[in-house]
């Protein structure tokens, strides 16, 4: 089985978000970048398929050279090879079109992406990619088993979960649950050393549509001070008369 894990290079979850150039760009100043958490759950699940079922695991990212440290981390965790599409990821449709070409060229049986990236929150790359290539698609996937050509997945639904059966080739939009938080791996020294020797192929982008443009950004309005109360009578009263939520 040949697996491609699609990885987005995103600001660490603890980052404070600022915008630059007249609020038209995300301000990367002082920001630490990591593998998108939803993708990392997928990558870790892919490592399981590699170790238990002999799968080959490649990772792909659409981005400029600055994303390579994040890709090296994925290689240090255990991916076999990496592919970087040399382009600024302008929107989800663009990224999906680029990755579709990578999938076509590489002949992957299983593609795992995150349900969404935690920066632009598009949540569309796996679904568009699957549809462009006419592959089966399961989103918000919290469990995945593959046996031969058959896949059994569990997907999170509002208020519960749904068990799904389908076949390869398959695209999955993954999240926590694919593996547990405690299963995530921190690259060890040997992994980091080995990652330096692994192939990181750079390919040029294909022509793509310009579907959306984030023209301007804005930060949420600052929050007023909290009103502290010292008993539940006052709280219930305020929630009823002032906040009008009960």
Total of chain residues touching another protein, rule CB under 8 A: 82
Within 174-203, the residues that bind another protein by CB under 8 A are: 175-177, 180-182
CA–CA separation, 245 and 99 (whole Å): 45
Within 50-79, the residues that bind another protein by CB under 8 A are: none
Within 147-166, the residues that bind another protein by CB under 8 A are: 155-166
Strand stretches in 124-186, DSSP E:
136-147, 150-157, 160-167, 170-174
Q: Interface with another protein by CB under 8 A: which range of 49-57, 70-78, 198-206, 225-233?
A: 225-233
CA–CA separation, 195 and 74 (whole Å): 8
Q: 95-117: b or e for each residue (b if 16 or more CB lie within 10 Å)? A: bbbbbbbbbeebebbbbbbbbbb
Considering the complex, state which of residue 72 and residue 155 has its C-beta at the smaller distance from another protein: 155
Considering the complex, state which of residue 48 and residue 217 has its C-beta at the smaller distance from another protein: 217
**Least distance in angstroms from the C-beta of 64 to another protein:** 20
Work out whether 240 is an interface residue with another protein (CB under 8 A).
Answer: yes
Which of 89, 118, 179, 198 touches another protein by CB under 8 A?
118
Which of 28, 53, 66, 131 touches another protein by CB under 8 A?
131
The answer to whether 114 and 39 have CB atoms below 8 angstroms apart is yes
The answer to whether 14 and 37 have CB atoms below 8 angstroms apart is no
Which of 9, 82, 91, 109 touches another protein by CB under 8 A?
91
Considering the complex, state which of residue 202 and residue 236 has its C-beta at the smaller distance from another protein: 236
CA–CA separation, 99 and 50 (whole Å): 21
CA–CA separation, 168 and 133 (whole Å): 12
- Joined together, the tokens standing for residue 54 give 């002999």
Which of 106, 122, 191, 205 touches another protein by CB under 8 A?
122
């Amino acid at each position: 089985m040949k697996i491609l894990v699609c990885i987005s290079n995103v600001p660490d979850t603890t980052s404070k978000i600022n915008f630059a150039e007249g609020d038209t760009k995300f301000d990367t100043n002082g920001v630490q970048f990591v593998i998108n958490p939803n993708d990392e759950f997928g990558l870790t699940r892919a490592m399981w398929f590699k170790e238990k079922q002999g799968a080959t695991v490649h990772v792909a990212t659409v981005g400029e050279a600055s994303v390579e440290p994040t890709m090296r981390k994925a290689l240090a965790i255990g991916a076999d090879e990496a592919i970087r599409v040399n382009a600024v990821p302008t929107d989800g449709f663009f990224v999906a079109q680029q990755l579709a070409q990578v999938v076509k060229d590489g002949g992957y049986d299983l593609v795992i992406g995150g349900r969404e990236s935690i920066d632009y929150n598009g949540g569309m790359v796996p679904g568009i990619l699957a549809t462009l290539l006419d592959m089966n698609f399961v989103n918000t996937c919290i469990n995945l088993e593959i046996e031969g050509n058959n896949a059994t997945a569990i997907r999170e639904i509002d208020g519960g979960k749904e068990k799904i059966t389908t076949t390869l080739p398959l695209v999955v939009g993954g999240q926590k649950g694919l593996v547990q938080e405690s299963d995530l791996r921190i690259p060890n020294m040997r992994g980091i050393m080995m990652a330096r020797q692994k192939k990181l192929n750079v390919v040029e982008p294909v022509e793509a549509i310009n579907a959306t443009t984030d023209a301007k950004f804005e930060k949420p309005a600052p929050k007023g001070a909290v009103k502290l109360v010292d008993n539940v009578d006052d709280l219930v009263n305020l929630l009823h008369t002032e906040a009008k939520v009960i």
